[in-house]
Structures are given as C-alpha cells and as structure tokens.
Structure 1
Amino acid sequence: MSYSPYLLKGQKALVTGASSGIGEAIARYLALSGAAVAINYHSEAESAQKLVDDIKAANGEAFTIQADVSKEDEIKAMFSQTLEQFGTIDILVNNAGLQKDSPFVDMTLEQWNRVIEVNLTGQFLCAREAAKEFLRRGVQPHISSAAGKIICISSVHQVIPWAGHVNYAASKGGINMMMQSIAQELAPHKIRVNSIAPGAIKTPINKSAWDTPEAEAKLLKLIPAKRVGDVEDIAKAAVWLASDDSDYVYGTTLFVDGGMTLYPDFIENG
C-alpha cells in the first residue's frame, strides 16, 4: 500500500459504516497515514473490532463505536464518546449507507424512508455534529491548515439515473447538493467539505455484479478503464481529501469511477 505515515499525524478521525467495504479501507488508510480513528458500525461488532485490532497491531490508534446514523440521539452520543476518547475530531468520513432496491411502482414507503434516513439524513446529522466541534475549536496550525474536514461518500448515481434504485439515486443526488451547500456555508471558517463518488467497486454489497467472469464482463462495458475498482482506490482519495495536500479544494465531488461517468456507450457511437 502507498501511504505516508506522517500525512495525517496527530489528527482524529471518525468513519461511519467502517466495519466493511469502502469504510473499512478508508479507516485503514487514515490510520496508516497517522490518524487516530473511531470505527463506527451498526451491527457488525466483530468485524469492527478486528479492524481496530489490525490498526493497533500496526502501531495505530482506534476504537469501535456503535450507532445507527439515522438516529439523532445515537449520533449525539457517538460524537460525545469520540470527543471524550480523542479530545476533539479533525476528520469526518460520512460513509454509512445502504440499498433497498425495488421497481419504482412497487417501492414501499418504508424502503424509501429507510434509504433516505441512512444515506442522506445520516450524513446531515454527522456533518452537523462534526461542524459544531470544528467551529468550537478552530484551526490548530500545528495539526492542519483547516479547522476540520468532512468527506461525504456519494456515488456515480448522484448524476447517473438508476432504474430500480430510485431511493438510492435520490439519496446520492441529495448528498451532492447538501455537501455543496454545507461547503459554501462553512468555507469561511476554514472547514473543508467535499465528496467522493465511487463507481463500481468490489465490495460485499455488489458482489454479484463482479464475482463471476460473465458478470464482470457485463460490468466492464460500463467502465472505460476496463477494470472494476478496489476499495483502496477510494481510500487513497479519502486520505488526500483529508490532508493539507488538498487545502484549496472546497465543495468538490471527486469521481473515482474508472470513467463510468464518461458515457461509455459513445466510445463506438460518437
């Protein structure tokens, strides 16, 4: 793995939904880059603890914290516990998310609400609590040139419509405008808010889309780079956005998608 153990030295991070997939990889890379990391999970306590053990075995600092990001009281408790453990927080990675797929006319209100609550409202609640701490503490120049960094994990489906996944696509489109509006409001306080929009990434949630040669071949038709992404591709981008190397980046979505948003059908039909 390519990283600098000093890039985020002395910084404190919270990663939501960090017990598997993209969140796990981001937490690992933040720790390898010098940050102490709070590992949020919803139900996978054993996986979250294993990640903490791995980070500590590599001389890093981490602890687990359970919370449902759609519940305001649990979010406030999570941030209180993180501040008690770390003293402050410098980096929030809003990663927790889920899918409840259905044809549009069959989609239930529960399916709609649950995806919006976790994917969008959860990011709002976490970002709000992080921003309060950033504003309270202000810039610590010996730690970072920013008062704080918020990274929202979105999706290429914030711009690509996705039939059969209306709730998910709507939540990701909402993340984009929420992120930009927060970034605009908090930028004068030297709080940087940005997003990463992954394309097709090899994670447990979409294993059926890439786990067989036939499925992967079909998926690659949508990816000009002709490879399915790895979680490390997202993690490296997150470390960069969390570091002072991206100090002049505000309100931007970094698409990490192998070119999926480049309308690949036009390769031969331009």
Structure 2
Amino acid sequence: MSLLARCLIARCMRIIIHMSKVAVITGASSGIGLEVAKQLARQGYSLVLNHYAESERTETLLEEMRDVANDVVVIRADISKESDREKIISNTIEEFNAIDVLVNNAGIYHRTAFSDLTEEQYDQTLNVNLKGALFLTQGFLPYFTAQSSVVFMSSINAFIGSDHGVDYNISKLGMIAVTRSLAQELSPKIRVNAIAPGSIDTNLIASDSPQKRQSRIDSQIIKRMGQPQDIAQMVSFLVSKKASFITGQTFHVNGGRYLS
C-alpha cells in the first residue's frame, strides 16, 4: 500500500475516532516523559512515544500504555541521528497523518567534571538534547495542524548552572533561545514554550546521596521533591486551549527554588 493510501486511511480513522489529537513525546520510556504520555492519554490523545532504552522496552512500554491510551505507537530511535528522526516522522504520519503536539523531552546527562569532559561527550549531549529536538521539530513542520503546540523540556540548570554538567547546562540554555526564536517564526500556527523543571524525582538524580537529596529540598520553599506529575500537568496545560494566548515563554516548575 502506498504512503498516500495509508495517509488517507489514517485520516479517515482519525475522523472515526472523534478526531483525537496526536502527541509525539520523546524520551518517553520513564520519568517525566512517561508521565506526560499517561497524562495526555487520559485526555484522549493518540500517542507516538519515542525512547532509546533497551529494545525490550518497546514492547513493555506499549503494554503499559495500552491500559490508558486508545491508540499508541512506540518507536525506538536515537533523535541525534537524522535517519532515526526521519523514522519517527514517517511512522507518525503513516499512522496518524498529522501531529498536534510535540514534547521534546529526550535528554542525556553525563555528570562529568569540566576537567574530564571530552569532546565526544559534549557533542553527544548537544546532539541529543538540543540538535535532535531542534531538527525533529523542523522535520514535523509540514504536518503540524493549525493551533499546534511544541514544548521543549529545559532545566533549572539553564539558569543557575551546576557542577559536573556544563555540557548539559549549555544544551538546556540553548533550548530557551530556540523556544523564543521558534515562537516568533512559527506563530500563529504553532505555539512554542519551554518548561524548566527543578529537582524532580526521576532516574536523573537517582544516584544522589541522602544528603544531596535533602539539600535539594532545603533549597526550595515547597519542602518536597518535585514529581513527574508536576511537570506533566504543566505540559497538559501548555498544549491545551487554555494556553492559547501563551507562546515563547519558559515556565519554572521548581518548588520556589529561586525565592529560597
């Protein structure tokens, strides 16, 4: 069957399934990405979930999401590679014909001291966290529906820095510039915003000592660790009609860290 025929069938299926919106989420195998997927699934979105974990995670993620999602596709792909980005785009369009929401959440964090940072590590971080997100967004441009939304997952580290992560911090600060630039260029069809999470209880900080974990909490006004659900709820708001007058902004979800 030709791509055109598959697209026509997919378009008809979207009509039959009450025109459910389509969300593509990168880095969706765990943590924030997984919780965003569940949140949007509960709101009736059809999902395309990208991950680059072990191959077996494709099937387990699919099974996990079938309990909450009406329609879900899982794609294992490295967004730093052009061929893998093309795979995500082509699979999405073949299945659903269009895209309404893109959440650029995939990222890596080496936790390497500056004195030990290699060019290979630096390139890998920037290629995944920044370049991959930028060019995946570009690749989807012909397929975004009217009033679409793109969310870039930045970090508090873009604003306060951190030791053992200069490459990561640069990539997350770059996302802020991308957000502001694309919001201007892609308006009014596509809204573009960023979220800068603070200390969120995910695998990214799972190796923290109890003392480090407590210091994170002590640095905030709200005395608890952030949860993936806190970020997922912000994503849910930003991609909804309630945020139709919001674009080019960065939302800081960090328990009041800046005021502590």
Of 69, 89, 107, which aligns to 2:79? 69
CA contact (8 A) 1:208 1:215 kept: no
Per-residue deviation, 1:149: 0.8
Give the counterpart letter for 1:195 in structure 2: A
Structure 1 counterpart of 2:258, one-letter code: T
Other structure's SS at 1:38 match:
strand
Contact 2:38-2:68 within 8 A present in 1 as well: no
- The answer to whether the 8 Å contact 1:209/1:219 transfers is no
Tell me which residue corresponds to 1:258: 255
Give 1:200 shift.
Answer: 0.4
Is the 2:79–2:85 Cα contact (8 Å) retained in structure 1? yes
User: Partner of 1:87 in structure 2?
Assistant: 97
Q: Percent identity?
A: 35
Gaps of 5+ in 2: 1-17
State the partner residue of 2:170.
170
Q: Secondary structure at the residue paired with 1:209?
A: coil
Asked if the contact 2:33–2:105 (Cα under 8 Å) also holds between the matched residues in 1, the reply is yes
Distance 1:37 1:151 in 2: 15
Alpha carbon RMSD of aligned pairs, Å?
1.7
- CA distance in 2 between counterparts of 1:76 and 1:184 reads 25
2:13 paired residue number? none
Please give the alpha-carbon distance, in whole angstroms, between the structure 2 residues aligned to 1:257 and 1:44. Answer: 30
Q: SS at the partner of 1:83?
A: helix
Contact conserved, 1:151 with 1:238, CA < 8 A, in 2? Answer: yes
Question: 1:106 is matched with which residue?
Answer: 116
Change (3 A) 1:206 1:151: same
CA distance in 2, matches of 1:167, 1:57: 37
> Tell me, what secondary structure is at the counterpart of 2:49?
strand
Partner deviation per Cα, 1:212-257 (whole Å, 9 max, x = no partner): 4x44322212212111001010111111111111100101111111
Return the offset for 1:45: 3.5
Tell me how far apart the structure 2 counterparts of residues 58 and 81 of structure 1 sit (CA, whole Å): 21
Trace 1:1-270 onto structure 2 (pairs within 5 A): 10-58=20-68, 60-134=70-144, 138-139=145-146, 146=147, 148-188=148-188, 190-209=189-208, 212=210, 214-262=211-259, 264=260
Q: Is the 8 A contact 1:195 1:254 kept in 2?
A: yes
Deviations 1:121-161 (A, max 9, x none): 01111111222312xxx52xxxxxx1x11110110111112
Aligned residue pairs total 243
Shift, 1:30, TM fit: 0.8
Cα deviation digits, residues 97-143 of structure 1 (max 9, x gap): 00112221221101111101100001111111222312xxx52xxxx
Q: Distance in 1 between matches of 2:216 and 2:154?
A: 20
Verify the 8 A CA contact 1:20 1:47 in the aligned structure 2: no
Task: State the distance in 2 between where 1:47 and 1:66 align.
Answer: 9
Kept after mapping to 2: 8 A contact 1:201/1:228: yes
Distance apart, 1:52 and its partner CA: 2.4
In 1, the alpha carbon distance for the partners of 2:177 and 2:212 equals 33
Q: Is the 8 A contact 1:100 1:111 kept in 2?
A: yes
Asked if the contact 1:17/1:23 (under 8 Å) is kept, the reply is yes
Unaligned runs of 5+ in 1: 1-7, 140-145, 265-270
CA distance in 1, matches of 2:138, 2:182: 9
Partner letter of residue 248 of structure 1?
F
Q: How far off is 1:76 after superposition?
A: 1.3
- SS of 1:245's equivalent? helix
Shift of 1:29: 0.7
